[in-house]
Structures are given as structure tokens and as C-alpha cells.
Amino acid sequence: MRSAGSALAVAILLIARRVSALDNGVARLPVLGYNAWNAFQCNVDEDLILQTANQMVALGLKDAGYNFINLDDCWALKNRSDTGDLVPDPAKFPDGISGLVTKLAALGFKTGIYSDSGWFTCAGYPGSWANEKRDLELFNEWGISLLKYDNCNIPFDNITRQNEIGRYQVMQKAIADVAEESGKPPIIFSLCEWGWQQVWLWGKTIGQSWRTTGDISPQWSSLASIINFNSFITMATDFYGRNDMDMLQLGNGDLTIDEAKAHFTAWALMKSTLLIGTDMRNVSQDVVDILTNSEILAINQDPVVGTSISPFRWGFNPDWTSDSLHPAQYWSGPTQDGVVFMLVNVADSPATLSFNLTESPWIRAGRQYSVRDLWSHTDEGIAVRSFSRDDVPPHGVVALLLKDAGDEPDALMPQCAVWYQCVTQDGIHVGG
């Protein structure tokens, strides 16, 4: 009979295997690229996509790392071919998707495509249900590198005999089988089922990213609610598997520059996939400057630390309060270069945002830190014990990288920045 100890070891191993990310060699880091849905919905064609790609090169976005161009819904005809294949709409894509992939590759881009795990896509085009392997073979033949897989128009239960996990696993298997048969790398699998069924608990066993919410819109209320929701599930994100906070709305709607900066900072530091979603033919320089902030992008693409920032204090609300208009304000996380902080002013008027350094678990007590401002790109001197920033604009953000700068000054009072449980060697509580 197996000992209790070894049974426990097996159980721990199984749990560890169940929750560990699907490392099939692709998308260790967040995907950076473009998706036309937020700006154009179904109104896309090859000309638009190629103009977009050329603009991405001309504006320096390709060089900044945005190297995927992803098609969304509406690229196909409404009916499959006589032999059962998906057919690219020839009016939109005269050279087919494979022709587009070749042209994008010549500009240095990989191509992503969209399908659905039901009968039809959300816009009513054919879905991949019961055609998973066939469709994957076609995508692979066309040279596709990423599949966004949606959740509309699901067949009845007596047909699927599956829950969502099961429907997405069928496509996962098709991806693995096609990779093995073709000898090409697996297609990156981007789950889009809007956070149903607690996807953050199992998405990482099936794909490399998973949407956590319904569709983003270009208003602060939408951004705030996505930040709020994701603030409670940051632990799900790491290398090879991440919460996808949805495509970027920078440049769209009525977002202010401060809101756009907060949007980009939160998405990047929470290690979301970053897909630009604005019309690149008339994007403003301000938006391009935000999207190409190399100090923020470097953290999103950190090759050593794959985890997300997390809130250490909610600020506007008591800790762990869910408030879709007023998410957590004080966030931090480790990076390969130091501890990154994000402060968000969720109020509608300017505010002072302050914190004690050791509120963040990654800061060492008794040490001082150099402060780098990741938006002004300036060094802000040395922080001892605390940091404060006045006049953070409404919905504005502060992003800081703190690096250890040695012991804090001698004889600093009080002896402990946080007095709770802090005592002399004799057990005397002298402060607080």
C-alpha cells in the first residue's frame, strides 16, 4: 500500500500539473500587435489591413515590438465551400488570407485569425464547431500564427455534451495535432469567452490568454470596470498564460490623454496582451508616444518575471472592495529591474497619492530606494520610507520603478515604518 506521504506527494504533483501553464513553446510573453475590431468592426479588407501594417512600420510601432496583425470577425463568406472549408470573402481579401499573410510577413508581421467555438461567430459567419481540425489545418496552411476563439452561438447541450472547457479543449487538441503533423510551431490560442465559467482558473491549461470580461468600450467607465474586475484575479497571470483585458482603446472615443496613459499602464503592467485598436491612418502622435513608452513596454515584456502587478491597497475604498467605477489605486509587483508601482487616481478631481514603501511586499524594510518615473522618464531621487505625488489628474496614473539604493539613513525614527508587531529585543512595544 502506498504511504500517506507519497500519496500526498502525488496529489500535490497532480494539483501542480493541473494549474501550471500550458508551455508548448509559444507566447511565453504577452502578444503585442494590432486588431481592427475596436476601430472598424466588420468593415475590414486587405487594403485597410496593409495600410495599417505600413503605418505600424512608419510610426515605429513595429520596431517597438508590435509584431502581430490579427483579423477579427467577418473575414469569411457566410457559407463554407462545397467541400466544407471556410472561404475568405474574395471582395475583402482578393488574394485570400494566405496572400495577406505573405504580404504581412514581408513587412515583418505575423498574422492572427478569428473563429468561434459555436455554430456561428458573433457576427453570424460560420463557426468552427464540429470543424475544428479542418479549420485549424486551413489556418496552418495559410501561415496563421494566432487564433482568437469566441463563444457565440453555442450548440444545444444534447449536441455538445460539453461545458466550455470541453469545447475549447477540442480546438486545443486540433492545434496540438496540427502542429505535430505539420512540424510548425503550435498556433497561439487566445480564448475569448468573456470571463465566463471562471476561465482564469483553467484557461492556462488550454491556451495562452483568456479574455476576462465582456467587450471593452472607449470610456473611462469601461476601463475602470475592467481594472476593477481583474484586480481580484491577478494571480492567474504568468508566463505562457495570462488574463486578457481586451484590445486597447487608446485613440478611440473620448478618452483623455491621462485616461489613455492609465489604460496603457494598467494593461501593460498587468501583463495583458496588448493589441492596438485604433485607426492607424490618423492616429495622434500623443497616442503613438504612449504606445511606444519603452520603459512600460519593457515591463510587459519582462523575460525574467512573468507575473502581474497586484493591488496592495485599494485607497478610495476599503481593501478588497469591488467598485466598477473606483478600482484599487495602489499597485506593485516585482520586475527584473526592481519593484514597479502603479498609482491610479480613480477620483474625478486631482488627488495626492501616497504610500509607505513597505506596504508593497517586494520592498525591503530598512532600505531606501531610487525612484524612476516611467512616464516623465526622469529619476526622482531617493525615497526613504514613503513616496507621495501631488496633483495626480483625474483618472491619471503614476508609474514608478524603485531600485534598492542601500540601507536607509542611521537612527531613522520611528524604528519601524510599520509598527504592528514591531518590538525591542526585550519585547517592549515602543512605537506606533
Query: Phi and psi of 11, rounded to 5°?
Result: -60, -45
Residue 412's CB is within 10 A of a number of other CB atoms, namely 14
Quick one: 148 or 271, whose CB is closer to ligand GAL? 148
The 3-state secondary structure of 56-70, one letter per residue: HHHCCHHHHCCCEEE
Chain-centroid distance, C-alpha 369: 28
Residue 121 beta carbon to ligand GAL: minimum distance, rounded to whole angstroms: 6
Helix, strand, coil shares of the chain as percentages rounded to 5?
30, 20, 45
Residue 386 beta carbon to ligand GAL: minimum distance, rounded to whole angstroms: 41
Please count the CA atoms within 13 angstroms of the CA of 287 that sit on its side-chain side. Answer: 20
Quick one: 152 or 357, whose CB is closer to ligand GAL? 152
Query: Phi and psi of 245, rounded to 5°?
Result: -85, 10
| Contact footprint for ligand GAL (CB under 6 A) | 37, 72-73, 121-123, 150, 152, 192, 215
Residue 33 beta carbon to ligand GAL: minimum distance, rounded to whole angstroms: 14
Residue 175 DSSP SS3: helix
Residue 194 beta carbon to ligand GAL: minimum distance, rounded to whole angstroms: 6
Question: Which residue sits closest to ligand GAL, CB atoms considered?
Answer: 122
Residue 147 beta carbon to ligand GAL: minimum distance, rounded to whole angstroms: 12
CA dihedral of 165, 167, 172, 177, whole degrees rounded to 10: 140
Residue 320 beta carbon to ligand GAL: minimum distance, rounded to whole angstroms: 28
135 noted as active-site residue: no
Q: What is the secondary structure of 277-298 as a DSSP string? A: -S-GGG--HHHHHHHT-HHHHH
Residue 404 beta carbon to ligand GAL: minimum distance, rounded to whole angstroms: 41
**Kind and range of the H or E run holding 168:** helix 164-182
Quick one: 115 or 360, whose CB is closer to ligand GAL? 115
Chain-centroid distance, C-alpha 416: 37
User: One of 72, 73, 135, 150 is an active-site residue; which one?
Assistant: 150
Q: Alpha helix (H) ranges present in 183-324?
A: 199-202, 220-230, 257-269, 285-291, 294-300
Quick one: 38 or 300, whose CB is closer to ligand GAL? 38
CA dihedral of 167, 168, 172, 175, whole degrees rounded to 10: 90
215 noted as active-site residue: yes
Vertex 30 angle, CA 29 and 31, to 5°: 115
User: One of 215, 289, 379, 404 is an active-site residue; which one?
Assistant: 215
C-alpha cell at 343: 498609482
Point out the residues that are catalytic.
150, 215
